[in-house]
Amino acid sequence: MKDFKLSTPRKELYKRIDKFQQALKKKEVSAALISYKTDLFYFSGTIQQGWLYIPVEGAPLLMVFKDFARAKQESALDSIIVLKSPKHISKTLKDHGYKIPESPLTIGVEFDVLPVNQLKIYQQIFPKAEFVDVSVDIRLTRAVKSEYEINKIRVCAEKWDMMMEKTSEYIEEGVKEIEVAGLVEGYARSLGHQGFIRMRMWSGELLFGHFMSGSSASLPSHIASATGGTGTCAASAQGAGFKKIEKNEPVFIDYAFGFDGYIIDNTRIFSIGTLSDELLKAHEIMLENQEIARKMAVPGTPSEDIYFAMLRHAENAGYKDNFLGFGTPRVKFTGHGIGLELDEFPFIAQGQKLALEKNMVIAIEPKLVFPGQGVVGIENTHLVTENGLEPFASFPDGITII
């Protein structure tokens, strides 16, 4: 097992657990039972199949079904044991000194992602327990990043910048989107890209992101994005397809970079030759839109205030019909939190009242969609500071002309 090492320092894990326990105490929940991969990684440092029991007070217990030896190598938690079956969870907890009250017993679980069948198993294991949702509490705990996490995202940004610099070498007239995407993604893998991007929403899925050119980027799709793309078939229906890249059209690259579990999500526009004055102007308006968000997004600002400010700017500039999509339905957000997953708190969207806090990490993404022509705009992952948003990446925001 020499190939595996601790993924997250012990001190970092217990800080997270302590913060979450304060949320459990405030909610009067006896304990939480964590099983979803992302949350399991956040609190334990491993995604090996198992269940993490976090009592409202005291030490957590990681019960591992598969693979125990690897979990021991990867996790810095003090108490990690073998669990032969989830049916033994209650007895195992009692055997290890955890007092499981008959009543009242409230156990927090991740209702937003927990399968119904898994909940039924829990109800059989703890027949007298009341199961309550702590998914929001987990997501709020994860929303404010530690210095450790911020440094991880800075590494992602460095690698993302390298990926963008290399992209210019691959874009050629007459080459299919999917071919260039493969070259860019292959290079990203050589830099250590983990090869997939985790999303929390049900049925949400993404590989590296979207590489699209001209009209294909403006093709709507099922995903929660202003852009779609043809994909390679109806079963994927997003991202790069078989369209050939042409001169004087926007080549739209919305790629995340995942490294050591953490993610950065940015968008840039390339072009072989210049674009029309209409598209050049539109891109500049989106850069102005980004700047509005950067100045507004200080600690204490409600998330939706930023959304409405960005929406007004786009509409006042004459892009009401193009902002965040074309026609209906279109997306109703201009940014999202990011960290271990692509869709974390906070969401910069209508109806989102969550106030920003220092060290939240947010991707701001104002984009304009022009049917038949393509998409222009920007996306940058930022750190919330006392003075507004600080971008992680350094690759230029303007259109890169090849």
What are the residue ranges spanned by the domains of the chain? 10-142, 144-401
Which are the contacts of 63, defined by CB distance < 8 A and separation ≥ 6?
50, 51, 52, 53, 81, 82, 83, 89, 92
**Distance (Å, rounded) from C-alpha 237 to C-alpha 230?**
5
Q: Which residues pair with 254 in a beta bridge?
A: 210, 267
**Distance (Å, rounded) from C-alpha 14 to C-alpha 29?**
19
pLDDT digits (tens, 9 = 90+) for 165-190: 999 999 999 999 999 999 999 999 99
Q: Which residues pair with 258 in a beta bridge?
A: 263
Which are the contacts of 97, defined by CB distance < 8 A and separation ≥ 6?
none
- How many other β-carbons are positioned within 10 Å of the β-carbon of residue 349? 17
Q: Are 125 and 222 in contact (CB under 8 A)?
A: no
Count the residues in the chain. Answer: 402
Which are the contacts of 127, defined by CB distance < 8 A and separation ≥ 6?
none
The closest alpha carbon to 56, from 77, 81, 25, belongs to 25
Which are the contacts of 166, defined by CB distance < 8 A and separation ≥ 6?
184, 187
Which are the contacts of 233, defined by CB distance < 8 A and separation ≥ 6?
none
pLDDT digits (tens, 9 = 90+) for 363-393: 999 999 999 999 999 999 999 999 999 999 9
Q: Write out the two tokens for 298.
A: 């200080």
pLDDT digits (tens, 9 = 90+) for 124-146: 999 999 999 999 999 999 999 99
pLDDT digits (tens, 9 = 90+) for 6-53: 789 999 999 999 999 999 999 999 999 999 999 999 999 999 999 999
When computed from its CA atoms, the radius of gyration of the chain, rounded to whole angstroms, is 23
Q: SS3 of 142, please?
A: helix
The closest alpha carbon to 210, from 185, 235, 245, belongs to 185
Quick one: DSSP state of residue 78? S
Q: Is the pTM of this model over 0.85?
A: yes
May I ask the CATH architecture of the domain 144-401?
Alpha-Beta Complex (3.90)
What is the percent of the chain where pLDDT is above 90? 90
Q: Are 112 and 133 in contact (CB under 8 A)?
A: yes
Burial of residue 13, with CB atoms counted within 10 A of its CB: 0-12 exposed, 13-18 middle, 19 or more buried: buried
Q: Decide if domain 10-142 falls under CATH 1.10.443.10.
A: no
pLDDT digits (tens, 9 = 90+) for 303-361: 999 999 999 999 999 999 999 998 777 899 999 999 999 999 999 999 999 999 999 99
